[in-house]
Amino acid sequence: MHGVVSLRGSAYGLQIESNSSIPGLALSTTLAPVPDLQVFLGILPDWLNAAEAQEIRPWRAGADEGEAGQPGLRVWALAGGRFHRLLYPDGTEFIVDEHGTRIWSWWPDGLSLEDTATYLLGPVMGFVLLRRGIICLHASAIAVGERAIAIVGPPEAGKSTTAAVFAGQAYPVLSDDVVTLDERDGLFLVHPAYPRIRLWPESVAALYGSPDALPRLTPTWDKRYLALAEPGYKFQQASLPLAAIYLLDERGSETVAPRIAGIRGRAALMSLLGNGYATRWMDRPMRAREFELLGRVVASVPVRRAVPHAEVANLPRLCDMILEDVQALAQSAERPTQD
């Protein structure tokens, strides 16, 4: 970045260079000669107005729902698809180039860099990964030994709360909300995201005794974050192969929860297709690639359905059951087959 301060960080397997510190993003200890992604904070490209005047069209009808309580996102293609404009109702906007190598951002008065970072590290990075050909799940990921497990589910299913319980048990966390499926040599790598878990005040109160026990993500939003850089917690800084996927089901009563059951074939595939990240912005070739890749995922990675108890206080029991299940799956995979 010529003429501006250059800072390096990493997220989702990408070396990121920015003109300012990005709240929540860890500084990188290993620097590639050329960054994968350049981020310009508080700057929009000079040509934007001209591009809007010449060509601007909705990328998809309607808006992305995002998380509950988070404003919907609209996306337009610009300059014949060489760039995309991502706009939130609060006026925060991003410009992303065709191949996901550059991001420009701007936010109106009354909002902050912290507000912009919440969008950047979540939905915007999900869009960037999509442009780079990486399929993602709406999930959290935990390191168990030298492998990763994904906790999958729609908004408010309890993914982040489950990840926070694992974090409290000293299990390293790779990612919260966006989990990469980067296919390499027959394995599906989960890349580390950033060292935070985002939690709603209700979950913070259930886990830590008070909704104010953790700091706010931004001054304008009530969501909180657990800093994985704090003593007692661990952020997994190296990519790990995916060992198992756990789909969070609706919470049940004591008679049926917590419990874990296997799910295979078409049912597993359809469940993963329903929990993809940034899928609203996929064109037909991207959808076809997602279908093929997830088909390979369910053929090689165990997919399990996890039913949490209705009370968050009982979530540690589900986490224990997941750990027992992961161990059993590993032992089964190591057991020699009979001819």
Collapse the DSSP code of 245 into the 3-class scheme (helix H, G, I; strand E, B; otherwise coil) and give the result.
Answer: strand
Nearest to 226 by CA among 165, 300, 297: 165
- CA dist., res. 165 & res. 135, Å (int): 26
Encode burial over 139-169: b for 16+ CB neighbours within 10 A, e otherwise: bbbbbbeebbbbbbbeeebbbbbbbbbbbee
Collapse the DSSP code of 300 into the 3-class scheme (helix H, G, I; strand E, B; otherwise coil) and give the result.
Answer: helix
pLDDT in tens, 253-282: 555 668 899 999 999 999 999 999 888 888
Provide the pLDDT for residue 55. 34
- CA dist., res. 31 & res. 275, Å (int): 33
Amino acid at 194: Y
Q: With beta carbons less than 8 A apart as the criterion, state whether 277 and 178 touch.
A: yes
Domain ranges of the chain: 7-131, 135-334
Provide the pLDDT for residue 336. 60
Half-sphere exposure of 204 toward its Cβ, with a 13 Å CA cutoff?
Answer: 19
The Cα-based distances of 139 to 89, 126, 236 in angstroms read: 25, 12, 16
- CA dist., res. 1 & res. 38, Å (int): 8
Q: What is the number of other CB atoms lying within 10 angstroms of the CB of residue 74? A: 18
Nearest to 12 by CA among 174, 243, 205: 174
Q: With beta carbons less than 8 A apart as the criterion, state whether 250 and 154 touch.
A: no
Report residues of the chain scoring pLDDT below 70.
Answer: 1-5, 29-32, 50-71, 251-257, 335-339
Provide the pLDDT for residue 213. 96
pTM assigned to the model: 0.88
Handedness of CA 198, 203, 205, 207 (dihedral sign): negative
Provide the pLDDT for residue 337. 55
44-47 long-range contacts (CB < 8 A, ≥24 apart) are 44/93, 44/95, 44/104, 44/105, 44/106, 45/95, 45/104
Provide the pLDDT for residue 70. 47
Residue 43, Cβ density class (10 Å: 0-12 exposed, 13-18 middle, ≥19 buried): middle
pLDDT in tens, 48-58: 876 653 333 34
pLDDT in tens, 122-154: 999 999 999 999 999 999 999 999 999 999 988
Q: What is the dotted CATH code of the domain comprising 135-334?
A: 3.40.50.300
Provide the pLDDT for residue 47. 82
Provide the pLDDT for residue 57. 39
Provide the pLDDT for residue 145. 94
